[in-house]
Structure 1
């Protein structure tokens, strides 16, 4: 889909005018009304359109705009608007393309969304439209053809925004990173097994990312027994992919992004119930966010040193699978009593976190994982859980989350959660009971963080997938975390 920035009033296609509740006026609406000889405003008054959130009004071919379809969309009360709605406006506009229109135009003159106006708003809206346009139709090979016309051109229309095209280049790279993350999460597990996933990571080399893949023998030599234990019940070999982007000062300590990449999670010997198990193909959503973020950073040539590390395993039941009661020695040298083989993601992350610190000595570590069902009980699907003992890091992540709309909520992790994972026979156990399950999981990961290292854990179990259409995402994989991580790096890691 081509993105255009123009000041030319459209005469054809779908023309979208966003309006706030109680302020059904402004330059954009006035321009459309003038072009239609007053037909638009007469219809607005007759229909008593108020601009409430989610409210829409469609006027096909009004006089003077015979070849256009005008759609007014309500944004709700201006005082209730979140920063992320600037992006959402573009997504909302694209979502109106239901009338076989090959072109969509979004009129933004006079519109101010969360402080964004003009070219800044145009760039955000273009990003939103691009994200909402995503489709994963790779395997619909025999679906009956329809007469649906795909949107070929999306225009942002406003005065003084022509130069926004240059600014949008960086956002287009971020959108590509989100699309990659969504693609990875959407792939079926018979395709995206660890070996294939590692190959997909290698594709980032074309953007200047240095990619190293570790096989099982190499990880065994490193002592990564926790990660290997999770995958030992699968016929698919486990892998670790390490992706280095060196866009900052030479020798400067990098930001490390670590992702859980369980390409399918049956629970292992602690087998999950069949209902809903198909959703476990997206148990690698944390790793997808890391891989997508690395593509975004490289695509826009970020001036920062960032290393992305993902542990790639398949958790299957088998005669060789890890058992409850096994005790395993981690790469850090600490021992772990395995009480539940379905609490496997933290085991994968633990060894990758250790490798990241020993090899790169990062100034900051952020790990992402679809780690616990408990976080969904606590936060539903609107927020991911943020766990960190560093206030400054937490505040920076919360700010980035709010700006992108990939929201976080800070959760507790402290000594009481450390107590929950104490073992009678090993240094720790891999589960701490039903109470505070997300916090005890975070406490487990914290055992593998060296003193003085700035670290945050993001539990994205509730946000990696959506069962309904969102403003900037069709139902399915969300790519959650890519834009959050990119924004965090922009504001804290770049010169």
Structure 2
């Protein structure tokens, strides 16, 4: 193959969570002659062109014959591994046919598929990825492929004796090398890093992750970034503010609660910020309303909402987004002890609204009630989003395909569904009816934390919504069904997928 001579745009981008494996990306319009493995895209098996066509010619038509023999389907995402084709040791053929044009999430998925394919076969990867035969209107598709590869290339081996060693050197051969380099280096890599940051939090065992330590790690990650200020409210601070709901959830634990506030002021001075509030239960036993043991181990990830907020704030700050955003992480550990709150207890809140506790296992809405009210009083945001692994009913309703979306305004819901489509993290609306607010009326307090013995998704949203001004654009995301994966997907291995970082990042981009 012949390529124009150019300056190699090489930025070795190493990344890892608690993982010894690493990857680096380069972008150029020249082949890396040191690489013996290649990836090519095919959108029509009957008309091979571009890099695939070159290989077919050099192999005397062998590639076309192998594709036919293996009944390769050029549909986007199909993959086929071949060996010793025209002198290429390992060749991965990836289908890219898409009539509507590949979107950013679809390109990310392709990048993730590439990572899964090559990482499953080779410990040390040195591969050229040829960027042609991609039907897309995006100006630098290789940047999104790199982002998807980066997102998928993750493992958590902190507690393993044998570490997941291995290195990936991925070289994108593209005519838009400069644009791709800029898009990845200055933007998309930080989303992937923010996702890994969120996954680290959600995967860490509960014994090793508690509110104060979460706060320390957020501080350390964001230290030195422009326009960032991190504040942490401790028990005394929250007592002064009468945050009895957040404090109440943490009373049963030896680890005190925290409210972490990350202020990023990259926009115009005085512009109202977007507020993002995440549930951060570092471990959820259910409290006195104790959960069954089956599956309780996964409650280490009940901080996924707060983790996603942390990852989003990192991504926004690292790329220097021209916007004001405040991220709030309401942190507590929900444990049973002699000091724990009981069903039937009444908690007072910062707003002054009292809450009767029907179940101590409906605790996420409690910590968020104080957090969202604080956000409004302190920052007067133009938009408020809260995100939480809140209810099993959301997971049962929408399975692993969608996060539950609840708003007061259906037009806002449709806008958020579009944000989900563009970000690659899909949401679907559930209702919020006036009857849901009636169901949480309490005979001895202002409201109760669940209704009619049913801690459903809409009821949980109604509790939080009781603390949100009716004229404020408010988005409630219940991610209980999407935060933890039982099997791999294109852009994430099984386990925590860091859901919410891409969605909130896209929301911020569109609401500057």
Q: TM-score per shorter chain, which class?
A: over 0.9
Greater Cα shift, 262-271 or 22-31: 22-31
Output aligned runs, 1:398-477, within 5 Å.
Answer: 398-433=417-452, 437-477=456-496
Deviation at residue 15 of structure 1 after TM alignment: 1.6
- The range that moved more, 347-356 or 156-165, is 156-165
Structure 1 gap segments, 5+ residues each? none
Deviates more, 1:32-41 or 1:320-329: 32-41
Provide the residue aligned with 2:9 in structure 1: none
Q: CA deviation at 1:120?
A: 2.5
Structure 2 residue 354 is the aligned partner of structure 1 residue 335: yes
The reply to whether residue 47 of structure 1 matches residue 66 of structure 2 is: no
Question: Is residue 177 of structure 1 aligned with residue 197 of structure 2?
Answer: no
SS in 2 for 1:313: strand
Cα deviation for residue 433 of structure 1 reads 3.6
What do you get for the CA RMSD once the two structures are aligned?
A: 2.0
Deviating beyond 6 angstroms after TM superposition, the runs of 4 or more aligned structure 1 residues are: 21-24
2:363 counterpart (335, 344, 347): 344
Equivalent in 99, 116, 140 of residue 95 of structure 1: 116
> Which of 393, 410, 414 is matched with 1:395 structurally?
414
Q: Are 2:108 and 2:148, in contact at CA under 8 Å, matched by a contact in 1?
A: yes
Question: Counterpart in 1 of 2:16?
Answer: none
Query: What are the equivalent positions in structure 2 for 1:71-470 lying under 5 Å apart?
Result: 71-74=92-95, 78=99, 84-97=105-118, 98-100=120-122, 101-113=124-136, 115-116=137-138, 119-140=139-160, 142-143=161-162, 150-169=166-185, 170-203=187-220, 204-208=222-226, 209-433=228-452, 437-470=456-489
Whether the aligned pair in 2 keeps the contact of 1:83 and 1:402 (CA below 8 Å) is no
| 1:247-270 Cα shifts (integer Å, max 9, x gaps) | 000011110000000000000000
Cα distance between partner residues in 1 of 2:101 and 2:86: 35
Q: Mean alpha-carbon deviation: is it higher for 123-132 or for 14-23?
A: 14-23
Question: Residue 152 of structure 1 aligns to a residue in which SS?
Answer: strand
Partner residue in 1 for 2:28: 6
**Matches of 1:461 and 1:72, distance apart in 2:** 36
Shifted more, 6-15 versus 419-428: the winner is 6-15
Tell me what 1:28 maps to: 51
8 Å contact from structure 1 (residues 260, 348) kept in 2: yes
Give the secondary structure class of the aligned counterpart of 1:190.
helix
SS in 2 for 1:320: coil
**Unaligned segments of structure 2, at least 5 residues:** 1-22
- Per-residue CA deviations over 1:277-328 (Å, capped at 9, x if unaligned) read 0000000000001000000000100100000011110000001100000011
Question: Which residue of structure 2 aligns with residue 38 of structure 1?
Answer: 61
1:76, distance to aligned residue in structure 2 (A): 6.6
Q: How many residues align?
A: 484
Tell me if the contact between 1:127 and 1:175 (Cα under 8 Å) persists in the aligned partners. Answer: yes
Distance 1:366-1:15 versus aligned 2 partners, 3 A rule: same
80 and 383 in structure 1: CA distance in 2 versus 1, 3 angstrom threshold: farther
Instruction: Describe the SS at the equivalent of 1:131.
Output: helix
State the match for 2:8 in structure 1: none
